[in-house]
Amino acid sequence: MAGQGASKGIFITTSQFSKEAIAFAAKQLHSKIVLVNGKQLAKLMIDYDLGVSTVAVYKVKRIDSDFFSEDV
């Protein structure tokens, strides 16, 4: 980042970041580094439909108490 003059950056891995990498990113004073690990990446992909497709949709039902009301 410093070599390109950037003040913000994001690093993505499909695995995990080491403790040292997390500590390094946290202590940067003049730049903002966001680390996205594999679990976060998968969640973002699902949340924003990026690189995934819906296979099935399930309906969750609840009892309609008005239907069973005796006020008829």
**Within a domain: 64:** no
C-alpha 11: how far from its chain's center? 14
pTM of the predicted structure, to 2 decimals: 0.70
Digitized pLDDT (tens) for each residue of the chain, 72 residues in all: 878 889 999 999 999 999 999 999 999 988 999 999 999 999 999 999 999 999 999 999 999 998 888 865
Domain that holds residue 33: 2-47
pLDDT in tens, 12-29: 999 999 999 999 999 998
What would the DSSP string read from start to end of the chain? -GGGT-SEEEEE-SS---HHHHHHHHT-SSSEEEEE-HHHHHHHHHHTTSS-------------TTTT-S--
**Within a domain: 31:** yes
**Within a domain: 61:** no
Q: Which residues contact 22 (CB under 8 A, 6 or more apart)?
A: 35
